[in-house]
Chain A
Amino acid sequence: MDPNKELEFINLLDENQNLIHKVCRLYTNDEASHKDLFQEISIQLWNAYPKFRGDSKFTTWAYRIALNTAISLFRKKKRTISTIEFDSTVHRFEYKDYDYEEEEKLKQLYKGISNLNDIEKALIFMYLEDKDYQEISEVLGISQINARVRMNRVKNKLKQLLNP
């Protein structure tokens, strides 16, 4: 590839590293898997970059590729690992700023997220990232109405976990 294009891509990836890290945080449960997924997403973005025309924002495009990569690896992994145990320590979450009740709620919510299916996780991720329904529909390749309906279902699912 053209060295300028490569430099351009590296700069973009450098600016948006956290985006990939956040996807990895949601789809993995240990540091080694996090690093593996980070690399896999970076390689997929790099391979797909020649096709990036700039019609959408780089971040929207990167969200799509990152989530697709995470989802496809998550599906492969699911065939071999039936359940994923949630371990808050490996997620490096800091609970110290929260009171006990909030901390418990958070633990339950993260546990709930770790048990969501791949698409539901992607939806929650977009919600946490404050994305509007237009961007969600672009990233996930579903209609805005569908995104809205699915999002409400996932939110309710998580709320029910806390208030059974």
Chain B
Amino acid sequence: MDELDILKKHWKENQKFPKLTQEEIRSMIHKKSSSIVMWIFIISIIEFIILNVIGYIIPNDKGVKTNIPLVESFLDKFEYLSILTSIIFVFLFYKNYRKIKVYSSSKELMTQIIKTKKTVNYYIYINIAFILISLCFVFFSICYYEPTLLSENSKNIFVLIGVFIIITLFFIAIVWLFYKLIYGILLKKLTKNLKELEKINEDPI
């Protein structure tokens, strides 16, 4: 018997595959979330790498060194906290991705999509909170190091607060836009898939 005939015979004899029910097929063809969640995970890693590489490339400006142990210690800890938070979220995104199983039921998938959406939103809120804390810290540092700004003219304090609020809003808007653009598109797709799955559950075969 020819080798290829043996192969063909073996191929035909080994055709035992898991059989999916029609309901499983129906929910599977409406599932696109696995790859979307995978992209959320990949983007979070890219973002984490890029931001940390930038941190290493851009040298620390010695000019902003305060030489006050309390402030320096706060800055150091804040940086570690920020890195730690990013790592935790990368891990959570990975966990979300692994949990989305191809053959899982529509209900399980819906729960997972909602969970992923929540994780992404928390990630965005925490990053915005970090920006806010950093800017508040800069504001209070200015008040602390330049007390003359405040004492010479009482109007200065309002100008300073005004400038601070504008800068803060500007940064938050930029960060918000950045995340909404990157993750928002993926979240929108997840929501669309979620709606399709809800429809499937309402109208089973």
Interface size class of B (residues with CB under 8 A): 20 to 34
Which residue of chain B has the shortest Cβ distance to A43 in the bound complex? Answer: B29
Residues of chain A within 8 A of B101, CB atoms compared? 35
Task: Flag if A92 contacts B14 (CB, 8 Å).
Answer: yes
Task: Flag if A43 contacts B31 (CB, 8 Å).
Answer: yes
Cβ of A98 within 8 Å of any chain B Cβ, yes or no, is yes
Cβ of B56 within 8 Å of any chain A Cβ, yes or no, is no
Main secondary structure of the interface of A (DSSP, over half): helix
Contact with A along B164-205 (1 / 0, CB 8 A): 000000000000000000000000000000000000000101
Contact with B along A114-129 (1 / 0, CB 8 A): 0000000000000110
Interface residues of A (CB under 8 A from B): 3, 6-7, 9-11, 13-14, 17-18, 21-22, 35-36, 38-39, 42-43, 45-46, 92-94, 97-98, 102, 105-106, 109-110, 127-128, 130, 155, 158-159, 162
Cβ of B8 within 8 Å of any chain A Cβ, yes or no, is yes
Query: Besides A14-B22, A39-B28, A128-B11, 13 other CB < 8 A contacts?
Result: A6-B26, A9-B29, A10-B22, A13-B29, A17-B17, A18-B15, A39-B102, A92-B14, A94-B13, A106-B6, A109-B6, A128-B12, A158-B4
Residues of chain B within 8 A of A45, CB atoms compared? 29
Looking at the assembled complex, report how far the CB atom of B104 sits from the nearest CB atom of chain A, in whole angstroms: 11
Cβ of B25 within 8 Å of any chain A Cβ, yes or no, is yes
Which residue of chain B has the shortest Cβ distance to A12 in the bound complex? Answer: B25
Looking at the assembled complex, report how far the CB atom of B35 sits from the nearest CB atom of chain A, in whole angstroms: 8
Cβ-closest 4 pairs across A and B:
A21-B17, A46-B29, A128-B11, A39-B102
